[in-house]
Structure 1
Amino acid sequence: MPPRQDRSLFEAIALSNVQRYYRLTWQKPAKIESGQIWQFSARMKGISSIQNQGGFNQQKYFISQHIVAKGRVKQAELISSNTSVRKYIMDRTLPILHRLPQGDILQALIFGDKRELDDARWQQLRQTGAGHLVAISGLHLSVVFGLFYGVLMLCSRIFSAQQHGRKAQVIMLVAALITLGYGYLSGFGIATQRALLMMLLLVIFSVVKQFSHSWDRLLYALFFVLLLDPIAILSAGLWLSFLALAIILLAVKPQSFTPPSASMHTEVAVSNIRQRLLIKGREMASYLLNAVNTLWSIQWRLALGLGGLQAILFGTLTPHSIWLNLLFVPWFSVVVIPLTMLSFCLWLLSSTLLSIIGIEQQVIENIGTTILTLADVSLVPFVELLHVSDHLPWALLPITEPSLAAVLFVLIALILVYLRPHLAVDKRIIRYCLVILCLPVGAHLLGAIQRSDEPNHQYNDVWQMHVLDVAQGMAIVVQQSNHGIIYDTGAAFGEFSYAKRAILPFLVSRGITDIDYIIVSHDDNDHVGGLTVLSDAFPASQLIADFSLADHTDRSLSQRCQGNLSWHGLNMHFIDNQLLNGNDNNNSCVMRLSDGNTRVLLAGDIETLREQSLLQTQADVEADIIFVPHHGSRTSSTPAFIDVVNPELAIVTAGFANQYGFPKSDVMARYQQRDISSLQTGHVGQISITFTEKGYKIATYRQHLAPFWYNHLFKFGESLKAE
């Protein structure tokens, strides 16, 4: 993979015509406020991040948000400070919102500021599929535009008897400006900018009276969004927004919204007022029933379509989102958003007038609390349903990649069935296509049944080893069907753990439900950091290590790193440590894994003394694949040790541009001089090796599993540092 080509592709195509941002970490930050201009001295590095199946693709997210580099602030100087209108309004409003029970949600709805939403709230939003309701998007902007357009039209009819098209166009422009102001208050997030662009296109088409179909406007909006921001194609929000609009256009038919007034003008020969009222009542009931049917028609299609897309993008399904959003979306559209915006505008006007008069700030805040309480109360039913979702079964279902593929094929089959009457294709061809599309789900179900009936002693001839990219650390998963072994658990830093970030999502994506053994090589954070998380996630697993686990879990060791274990046809041979008084690295658990055809040596962080000990005791360390000891440090991989192991492939578990400069170039030269191929997780991402009777096959994440341009390695920030 030529790094220069990758970098030029990224710079020339991806970010050449868009705003660029930098993500900075400040360990002891000063008070930062909107409107300030700072000059930073920061240590920068590229956006290349860990790459594994199932995990969050931070690198792709950075690119979609126009973030071109990340770094750590070393020095900072405040250049100037200008109070913006948005900051002034926020400073006056946030103290009031903090008093209200649902102030965190109101803060997100008004200012697009989601910092007050805690982890529990986010979990509730995820499991109900309601996260889009607190993130300002096309729904919010459409409601605000429609609200003020309706209010202004009503006022114009009250104060002016003359109505003409020019007045309606002026009102539409004013409503668009108000909506633009709402976008400014929300911080002009990227998703908000796209929604505003779509709204402005609609207004422009309406003002110039240019005829265009709804599908035309949707395509125009997509064209201009991608013209102004080509990398918006990587954003999940773009796909969700445009898919939602496409589903609505497919579900809604023009006749579905025939207002009752259209039939009320029909001349009906009735002389009885009661009969006339009865007819109008029936018409109104029919209209309401039609509206409910249309809403249901839209909602179930949105739930299936967006649910499928969310499964693809995020690897989870939210079954309850169908009926919950059937309640949430109308409630937010008709009640919550209008009340919130009207209350906020009323508060803004009243606070301005009271400040001019000279009323005390405390009194103004009390009045603001009273005004915004109405908006807060409107959120009570929503919050109560969020709490109910904590007790619902199957609230958030992770989905494996094979299951997802099977479900998608079934959805394509259902679409084909729906479109069959309109296709000029032979029915036999359609039947064959339906059978082929349903084969994956049938095979998946059959495999699940076979696994459930399969005795524990049976195993497959094919097994896999997955070397996960956990930055500067080690995490290896051995897989046989839905069973697995974990060797080392990656690092953890405070609340952050690579076990949560990478290992658990990977296990879900691969359908690994049973972890039989968790082996920890030694007591260093980059190897044992995720043990607490994994031990809790798999309480039935057996723990193997050569040190006390008391600092990491309440569970006790199942055995030490000694002897042999047989697991699903594989032999795990633990090589005894004959080195006395070795340091922590040299006490690493050394294991050789073999299926009778291929041998893999996992050496942990052993150093020169332990390597010499293994050679002196004539330990059987010969292997086809070796995990380079101590991440490629100069303290390991002596020439004599490499010669005895005599591997074909050397795998280095080291993060890209890590602070230690691992692996060292002179160490890797020893392997290259012996014609030993090498791979580094920090460069190629996850490494998956499939073993069969004929040998093994290698697939890496960046080059084979997901070889997309945004997953390439961007080498900005790479440097070699002293050990």
Structure 2
Amino acid sequence: MRTGMMALAVGLLAPVFLPALPPVGLLLVLPWVALMLLPFRSYPLAFFLFGFVWAGFSAQMALNDRLPSRLDGETRWVEGRVVGLPQSAEGVVRFELADARSRHDKLPSLMRLAWYAGPEVKSGERWRLAVKLKRPGGLLNPDAFDYEAWLLAQRIGATGTVKDGQRLAPAQWAWRDSIRQRLLAVDAQGRNGALAALVLGDGSGLSREDWQILQDTGTVHLLVISGQHIGLLAALMYALVAGLARVGIWPVRWPWLPWACGLAFTAALGYGLLAGFDVPVRRACVMVALVLLWRLRFRHLGAWWPLLLAFNGVLLMDPLASLRPGLWLSFIAVAVLIFTFGGRLGPWRWWQTWSRAQWLIAIGLCPVLVALSLPISLSGPLANLLAVPWVSFAVLPPALLGTLLLPIPYVGEGLLWLAGGLIDGLFRALALIAGRWPAWVPTTMQWWVWALGGLGALLLLLPRGVPLRPLGWPLLLVLAFPPRERLAEGVADVWQLDVGQGLAILIRTRHHTLLYDSGPRFGDFDLGERVVLPALRKLGVEHLDLMLLSHADVDHAGGALAVAKGLPVSRVISGDPPGLPETLNAKACESGRQWQWDGVAFHLWQWADGHDSNQRSCVLQIEANGERLLLTGDIDSAAERDLLNSALAVQTRWLQAPHHGSRSSSSMALLKALRPQAVLISRGQGNSFGHPHPTVIARYRKQGIHIHDSAEQGAIHLQLGRFQPARSMRQQRRFWRDPPLPGAEYR
């Protein structure tokens, strides 16, 4: 049976790794094949097929519930009910709308909406809203967070922006939102947001600095409700009943073990309902239930059995949970503890058990974090060694008890005041640790390098005395220092990052790195910090020899400060230095300046008579082995005419579309003079500027130019000097990603 359960788990996971889902007809046939295998005792294959079919159908239903393509970008009046906990920050209200209905169109059952400068929205309210609808999607960059996969795992079928609306009915059964409002209103020594995160799982009240501290110290799981909190509460309830029975206080006529297990599960379930009972919480409740059942009736089967059953139980409830990193981190962490503690021969003191558990989990999760492209906290074992007992035994009891006793004057508020002070002290300590040891972002590496690191972690988890165990450390360190493939002389590696309505292009030669523009910043939404800087680190960039900002507009230079703060930058050049922050110390673009890096030639140009920032964009030509790329910023047709009188007016294979393909740029004269074979367009999907303009696209196609559009393809990668076609992130097929539209990559 255990083999069958393992086969079921593999079947439930298999569809997530496929580039496309199998046809529905095949999914209808496979269950009958599985049933026919049962009489022949082919249980593993039959269980695999059952799991594969269920996961495939679940994923297909989620895809079918997405917004139809014909409604993408359309504005519709919809009615629906607000669910979850709405979030409000920087003048933007974000919430989820369930059971949405439109008069003429079928809509997804769950949508995620944003309302700029919108009114207060409460959970449980019914609204009629004018929404500009959008199919699920997100920015696609190398080894970055896949927002589209996250939306699918949440079963969100559409996103949108609210233009107008009216409340139809007040909130009903919104007790979680009411509790949140009470938590935010009490005096918690400035840590109300952290209390709401700990009690309700609502992390919207945590500041960006708080999140960074938690990430750097590997303690996110402590402040936002996780399986650890639910397991801890269940363990405390179990220990309370067991302790009462041990000292003879528990009633003899009530068997203590069934009561301990029952009350522990009740406590876990109640905490889960308080936290919204989303997927991570459901996962924790299933694990707690199976562990208690194992303790009650099946302890003789060993510790691996409940872990396997819990894993299958979670995936049977929601096969798309495998798209969430939390599933892998929580189950593998438990597996590491079972593997290491189950094989030890001698007893350890309690402090040895606790400290070794932290280090063993850190080692075991290291390859998993690398595979999931997540930061690795270097201080995590030390921070958790101190923070876990602090949160578990000092913070959590007064936080939960204070929330429960809020109706009693002064008592609940006093407990929450105490919990807030304890959280504040914790953050101060974690900030000191994070400032000394920030999180490490591993670079992209080949699969065999990751496999060696995984083998090293496995060897280190083995008991002492096992042969070859000392090889674990050098193998694990391969993850920190992976072998890098150096570029050949005369070749430039180019990435146009997917930054929405903006521009950021990375150029690397054998020994040098240049960033042309730094992505946009709109309010506190800084894509230089959220996209460009993580992408540079993932690609192994440790410093920038030059950051060239074409001009000062926020869609091109908005992320410059974040990049300069996160990486050493030797020099900053811009076509419009006065429009940039003084701290960048930007120098003016020197038109006509040329230099070479590792056999690759660079040439700057700027229109001397430019009247605005766009026209003064600093243009960069890159030539490698006779193959040229021209980066144009936001120049218009007037600047293009002057460009044609310069040394850059030569045949150019790759052209970055001037001004994102606006109607005022990409003149026919420019295209005929440069004769580009391909054009790179960087823009946001459904942007309000209408970029690229249809007349410009028609102009490109008339000239037979290949079009590479970041909104349709994500980040685009090419190697200048090799005369090879470009590749895009969307070519890495995943079943939840729409394929590139016709015309986005070819003629």
Query: TM-score normalized by structure 2?
Result: 0.76
Structure 2 letter corresponding to 1:471: G
Structure 1 letter corresponding to 2:670: F
Structure 2 letter corresponding to 1:632: G
Counterpart CA distance in 1 for 2:710 and 2:129 is 32
Compared with structure 1, are the counterparts of its residues 155 and 679 closer, same or farther at alpha carbon in structure 2 (3 Å cutoff)?
same
Mapping for residues 323-722 of structure 1, pairs under 5 Å? 323-342=382-401, 344-345=403-404, 347=405, 351=407, 364=409, 366-372=410-416, 375=419, 379=423, 382-392=426-436, 394-402=437-445, 406=449, 409-415=452-458, 441=478, 460-481=489-510, 483-537=512-566, 540-568=569-597, 569-575=599-605, 577=607, 580=609, 584-615=613-644, 620-692=649-721, 694-703=722-731, 706-712=732-738
Q: Give 1:491 shift.
A: 1.8
**Could you tell me which residue of structure 2 aligns to residue 12 of structure 1?**
60
Compared with structure 1, are the counterparts of its residues 239 and 621 closer, same or farther at alpha carbon in structure 2 (3 Å cutoff)?
same
Q: Give 1:670 shift.
A: 3.1
Compared with structure 1, are the counterparts of its residues 511 and 80 closer, same or farther at alpha carbon in structure 2 (3 Å cutoff)?
same
Mapping for residues 189-268 of structure 1, pairs under 5 Å? 189-204=278-293, 212-253=301-342
Q: Give 1:215 shift.
A: 1.7
Counterpart CA distance in 2 for 1:574 and 1:178 is 67
1:130-178 alpha-carbon deviations (Å, 9 max, x no partner): 111112122111111122233345557756542564x642453333223
1:312-340 alpha-carbon deviations (Å, 9 max, x no partner): 43542222211221232244444443454
Q: Determine helix, strand or coil for the equivalent of 2:578.
A: coil
**Could you tell me which residue of structure 2 aligns to residue 282 of structure 1?**
none
Compared with structure 1, are the counterparts of its residues 147 and 651 closer, same or farther at alpha carbon in structure 2 (3 Å cutoff)?
same
Counterpart CA distance in 2 for 1:554 and 1:13 is 51
Q: Give 1:648 shift.
A: 2.0
**Could you tell me which residue of structure 1 aligns to residue 353 of structure 2?**
294
Q: 1:317 aligns with which of 367, 376, 384?
A: 376
8 A Cα contact 2:589 2:606, kept in partner = no
1:375-407 alpha-carbon deviations (Å, 9 max, x no partner): 456557634531431442x33223322499746
**Could you tell me which residue of structure 2 aligns to residue 130 of structure 1?**
219
Counterpart CA distance in 1 for 2:266 and 2:740 is 41
Q: Give 1:601 shift.
A: 1.7
Identity rate, percent: 27
1:436-465 alpha-carbon deviations (Å, 9 max, x no partner): x959949957869xx9xxxxxx98333211
**Could you tell me which residue of structure 1 aligns to residue 176 of structure 2?**
86
Compared with structure 1, are the counterparts of its residues 697 and 553 closer, same or farther at alpha carbon in structure 2 (3 Å cutoff)?
farther
Compared with structure 1, are the counterparts of its residues 395 and 520 closer, same or farther at alpha carbon in structure 2 (3 Å cutoff)?
closer
Structure 1 letter corresponding to 2:627: T
Q: Give 1:478 shift.
A: 0.8
Counterpart CA distance in 2 for 1:311 and 1:442 is 8
Q: Give 1:634 shift.
A: 2.9
Are 2:170 and 1:66 aligned?
no
Moved more, 413-422 or 127-136: 413-422
Compared with structure 1, are the counterparts of its residues 17 and 638 closer, same or farther at alpha carbon in structure 2 (3 Å cutoff)?
closer
1:655-690 alpha-carbon deviations (Å, 9 max, x no partner): 223223322344323333433322111111111111
Compared with structure 1, are the counterparts of its residues 379 and 595 closer, same or farther at alpha carbon in structure 2 (3 Å cutoff)?
closer
Q: Give 1:597 shift.
A: 1.9
Counterpart CA distance in 1 for 2:590 and 2:21 is 45
Q: Determine helix, strand or coil for the equivalent of 1:601.
A: strand
Counterpart CA distance in 1 for 2:435 and 2:133 is 45
**Could you tell me which residue of structure 1 aligns to residue 258 of structure 2?**
169
Compared with structure 1, are the counterparts of its residues 534 and 232 closer, same or farther at alpha carbon in structure 2 (3 Å cutoff)?
same
**Could you tell me which residue of structure 2 aligns to residue 359 of structure 1?**
none
Q: Determine helix, strand or coil for the equivalent of 2:664.
A: coil
8 A Cα contact 1:406 1:444, kept in partner = no
Compared with structure 1, are the counterparts of its residues 173 and 633 closer, same or farther at alpha carbon in structure 2 (3 Å cutoff)?
same
Moved more, 599-608 or 53-62: 53-62
Q: Give 1:306 shift.
A: 2.5
Q: Give 1:243 shift.
A: 0.9
Moved more, 518-527 or 85-94: 85-94
Segments of 5+ residues of structure 2 without an aligned counterpart are 1-18, 25-55, 67-97, 99-108
1:524-582 alpha-carbon deviations (Å, 9 max, x no partner): 3322322333455566533333334344334554342411321312222234536x465
Q: Flag the structure with larger Rg.
A: 1
8 A Cα contact 1:656 1:682, kept in partner = yes
Counterpart CA distance in 1 for 2:22 and 2:660 is 25
Structure 2 letter corresponding to 1:82: Q
Counterpart CA distance in 2 for 1:169 and 1:506 is 52
Counterpart CA distance in 1 for 2:476 and 2:454 is 13
Counterpart CA distance in 2 for 1:339 and 1:617 is 72
**Higher relative contact order at CA 8 Å, sep ≥6: structure 1 or structure 2?**
1
1:395-427 alpha-carbon deviations (Å, 9 max, x no partner): 32233224997466234145258779999xxx9
Structure 1 letter corresponding to 2:653: D
Compared with structure 1, are the counterparts of its residues 636 and 396 closer, same or farther at alpha carbon in structure 2 (3 Å cutoff)?
same
Structure 2 letter corresponding to 1:702: R
Compared with structure 1, are the counterparts of its residues 415 and 557 closer, same or farther at alpha carbon in structure 2 (3 Å cutoff)?
closer
Compared with structure 1, are the counterparts of its residues 648 and 371 closer, same or farther at alpha carbon in structure 2 (3 Å cutoff)?
closer
Structure 1 letter corresponding to 2:667: T
Are 2:219 and 1:95 aligned?
no
8 A Cα contact 2:190 2:420, kept in partner = yes
Compared with structure 1, are the counterparts of its residues 136 and 697 closer, same or farther at alpha carbon in structure 2 (3 Å cutoff)?
same
Compared with structure 1, are the counterparts of its residues 405 and 95 closer, same or farther at alpha carbon in structure 2 (3 Å cutoff)?
farther
Instruction: Give the number of aligned pairs.
Output: 648
Counterpart CA distance in 2 for 1:445 and 1:48 is 32
Q: Give 1:647 shift.
A: 1.8
Structure 1 letter corresponding to 2:735: W
Compared with structure 1, are the counterparts of its residues 14 and 7 closer, same or farther at alpha carbon in structure 2 (3 Å cutoff)?
farther
Structure 2 letter corresponding to 1:80: P
RMSD: 4.1
Structure 2 letter corresponding to 1:228: M
Compared with structure 1, are the counterparts of its residues 481 and 188 closer, same or farther at alpha carbon in structure 2 (3 Å cutoff)?
farther
1:78-129 alpha-carbon deviations (Å, 9 max, x no partner): 2232254434544555433x33465543332222233332233222212211
Are 2:234 and 1:145 aligned?
yes
Counterpart CA distance in 1 for 2:381 and 2:296 is 37
Compared with structure 1, are the counterparts of its residues 714 and 110 closer, same or farther at alpha carbon in structure 2 (3 Å cutoff)?
farther
Structure 1 letter corresponding to 2:360: R
Counterpart CA distance in 1 for 2:454 and 2:343 is 26
